[in-house]
Amino acid sequence: MNIDIIMEKITVQACANIALIKYWGKRDEDLFLPTKSSLSISLPNLQTTTSIQDNTANNCDDIIINNKSVSSSVYSKTISFLDKFRKLYNIKNYFKINTQNNFATAAGLASSSSGLAALSLALDKFCKLNLSKQELSILARQGSGSACRSIYDGFVLWHKGVSPDGSDSYAQQLFDQNYWPEFKIFTAVVSDKQKPISSRIAMQQTIKTSSYYNDWLIESEARIPKMIEAIKKRDFHTVGMLAQEDCLGMHKAMQLSKPSINYWLPETLEVINKIKDLQQSGVNCYFTIDAGPNVKVICLDRDLAWDVKNKSIVTILFK
């Protein structure tokens, strides 16, 4: 049965997320099935806004990101996702898609998570499918793995699943964004340039060549129940330390690939070292980093206020 689309235009938003326990590697490249589970928190200030209109009369999809035509690689990836969507739900239409990020794209700030989540939400609404959150998560995952977590806000667990068809690999909200209002994350942007190697290629290389990857998988998976328990108890120190350890483990696995993958810049190390200094001085702040040079700083309201008052971390990270 074909679905007739009569809506002229719809616009939706989705926010990026940052994994506290990382996702790095797929066991199925087509379905975006991960090698392990992961756990994230949403970043409500990093937003993607996506509008969709029908473009069937032109017999093609038209994709604009940040007011520019996309590169051939981004276009082909997006078309691949749209073709999956059309096949899954027997949609015959083509679409005009206009996307705006309020933050740097492809710079390690999770633009793919919010981008594919927003696109999934927009397609569902435009085509009047009324998909459940779980179904939307599974759909978004097939465009970008981390996008499955951006269907929700707050603290979110992505179950790796075991089924070959991916039916049990989806995200689940553990706590909404109002659960722990004192919990803050802000980004120290050391570079807004596009990263030199895409996450997809870097993941494949890490899996195939890193001597540490399998050890990291085991260690990282074991951190998940500890992280969930720490969030339940609002044990901020444990949450921060687990996130920091997992981040360092993921980047170690990348750095031990052949050839070595290193997203960090000298400024990245400067921020890391300053945060460690602050920890030694009693400030309750921690760091995590995705596939890129930019550092996400995890802190509580009271410590952020202390930092602002004393002009320490704000001066250090944003000088």
CATH of the domain at 96: 3.30.230.10
Report the pLDDT value the prediction gives residue 128, as an integer from 0 to 100. Answer: 95
- What pLDDT, in 10s, does the model give residues 132-146? 999 999 999 999 999
Looking at residue 7, what is its pLDDT? 57
The answer to whether residues 131 and 139 touch, using CB atoms and an 8 Å cutoff, is yes
160 and 21 housed in the same domain? yes
Q: Evaluate whether residue 3 is within a structural domain.
A: no
* Residue 35: inside a domain: yes
Quick one: 243 and 135 in the same domain? no
Nearest C-alpha neighbor of 15 from the set 154, 124, 193, 142: 154
**Which CA distances in Å does 294 have to 81, 191, 227, 284?**
27, 7, 23, 20
Please give the DSSP secondary-structure letter assigned to residue 55. Answer: -
Instruction: Give pLDDT tens digits for 159-206.
Output: 999 999 999 999 999 999 999 999 998 888 888 788 888 888 999 999
Residue 184's region, left for phi above 0, alpha for psi from -120 to 50, else beta, is beta
- 52 within a domain of the structure (yes/no): yes
pLDDT score for 310: 47
Whether the predicted pLDDT of 154 surpasses 60: yes
Residue with tokens 């969930």: 228
Q: Which residues span the domain enclosing 49?
A: 9-175
Lowest mean pLDDT of 61-70, 148-157, 267-276, 303-312, name the range: 303-312
55 and 83 housed in the same domain: yes
- Do residue 21 and residue 163 come from a single domain? yes
Task: Assess if residue 279 is contained within a domain.
Answer: yes
Please report which confidence band the pLDDT of residue 313 belongs to, taking 50, 70 and 90 as the band edges: very low
- Express each pLDDT in 37-55 by its tens digit: 999 999 888 899 999 999 9
pLDDT digits (tens, 9 = 90+) for 61-93: 999 988 887 777 788 889 999 999 999 999 999
Residue 191 CA from chain centroid, whole number? 18
- Give the number of domains in the chain: 2
pTM: 0.89
Find the CATH number of the domain harbouring 313.
3.30.70.890
Do 311 and 189 fall into the same domain? yes
User: Do 144 and 231 fall within a single domain?
Assistant: no
- pLDDT for res 305: 56
> Could you tell me the pLDDT band of residue 102, with boundaries at 50, 70 and 90?
confident
Whether 36 shows a pLDDT value over 70: the answer reads: yes
241 and 161 inside one domain: no
- Judgement on whether residues 159 and 199 belong to the same structural domain of the protein: no
Considering the domain architecture, whether residues 163 and 63 belong to the same structural domain is answered as yes
Pair 200, 309 in one domain? yes
